[in-house]
Amino acid sequence: MEVLRATNLTKIYGSTIAVNNVSMTINEGDIYGFVGENGAGKTTFIRLVAGLADKNSGEFTLFEGENHSIGALVETPSLYLYLNAMDNLMAQGKLLGITDKEKHKELFRLVKLEYLIDSKKKAKSFSLGMKQRLGIAMCLLANPKFLLLDEPMNGLDPEGVVLMRDLIKSLSEQGITFLISSHMLGELSKVATRYGFIHEGKLIKEITREELEQSQKGLLNVKVSEENVEKLKIVLTKNNIKFDDEDGIKIYDQTIEDIVELLTKNGITLKGITEETSNIEDYYLDLIGGLHE
């Protein structure tokens, strides 16, 4: 099932096109990582889909028109800072007509805040990670099938990041689909199954985790004797193999086995070969760099 289909969605603030004709599809079960620099349009897009902002043009549908609930945590959770955790959850539950305290306790356990069930500690004293997880518990009260999280790991300490990552994985296994914006791309890559890359309001690429991993084949650092350097360049050029020689010989999109075989076949003695792997940050920077070439 398509959980979200956006078609040419556009939002303009004054003279700024915050979201520019974005078309996106998120399927049931996806953990969709939404990647872009600050001001790229991630938060605005999430606000449009969550019903927190009005579009200027374009359309989007949720659940192919079926009636399912969604939850959204945009920027920071809206908490009553002078209430404790349970009272915050109860207040949200009353708005939804959900007053079963056992349901609330179950949610505390789910988001790893069970130690706050009977605590009198006020929300103003919570760490950012505690606030984020309490915000997610509040979103979960309505049993959403789709969660939109805007920078859920931003500002968290290492323990908080791990807890958030594990929570997202756990909820995904329970059938919740995610749209997650984040600039912590290393952490996002540990949970996302699909990605959308946005730049200056435009969605410039959608890709699956498998496609991204395939595209991140490492480059090879090759060392040969000084007298063989020019011969190596000639062999690589003749075989249409991409390389550069600005800082040693770096060969792209090849396996170690294939290069070793090629050099042996051409009588070039190899002194050393190592592989560097790129990452999601490199992929994104290459994408936006290509737009400006």
Which CATH number does the domain housing residue 76 bear?
3.40.50.300
Question: Phi and psi of 82, rounded to 5°?
Answer: -100, 15
pLDDT tens digits, 87-146: 999 999 999 898 888 999 999 999 999 999 999 999 999 999 999 999 999 999 999 999
Give domain status of residue 270, yes or no.
Answer: yes
Does 52 share its domain with 103?
Answer: yes
Does 60 share its domain with 197?
Answer: yes
Give domain status of residue 286, yes or no.
Answer: no
**DSSP type of residue 142:** T
Mean pLDDT of the chain: 91
Give domain status of residue 63, yes or no.
Answer: yes
Q: Report the DSSP pairing between strands 219-224 and 270-276.
A: antiparallel
Does 140 share its domain with 254?
Answer: no
Domain that holds residue 168: 2-209
Residue spans of beta strands (DSSP E) within 131-201 = 146-150, 177-181, 194-199
Given a contact cutoff of 8 angstroms between Cβ atoms, the answer to whether 49 and 125 are in contact is: no
pLDDT tens digits, 20-47: 999 999 999 999 999 999 899 999 999 9
CATH number of residue 230's parent domain: 3.30.70.120
Give domain status of residue 238, yes or no.
Answer: yes
CA distance 285 to 119: 45
CA distance 84 to 247: 58
Does 107 share its domain with 243?
Answer: no
Neighbour count for residue 33 (Cβ, 10 Å): 25
Does 190 share its domain with 227?
Answer: no
- Is the predicted pLDDT of residue 204 greater than 50, yes or no? yes
Give domain status of residue 74, yes or no.
Answer: yes
Give domain status of residue 287, yes or no.
Answer: no
Give domain status of residue 189, yes or no.
Answer: yes
Q: Report the DSSP pairing between strands 2-13 and 16-27.
A: antiparallel
Number of domains in the chain: 2
Does 167 share its domain with 252?
Answer: no
Q: What percent of the chain has pLDDT over 90?
A: 64
- Is the predicted pLDDT of residue 253 greater than 90, yes or no? no
Is-above-0.85 flag for pTM? Answer: no
Does 242 share its domain with 186?
Answer: no
Does 12 share its domain with 96?
Answer: yes
Does 223 share its domain with 185?
Answer: no
| pLDDT bracket for residue 290 (50, 70, 90) | low
Give domain status of residue 288, yes or no.
Answer: no
Does 190 share its domain with 62?
Answer: yes
Helix, strand, coil percent values for the chain (each to nearest 5): 40, 30, 30
Q: Of 143, 168, 145, whose CA–CA distance to 93 is shortest?
A: 143
Question: Phi and psi of 154, rounded to 5°?
Answer: -65, 125
Does 133 share its domain with 252?
Answer: no
- Is the predicted pLDDT of residue 293 greater than 80, yes or no? no
Does 158 share its domain with 259?
Answer: no
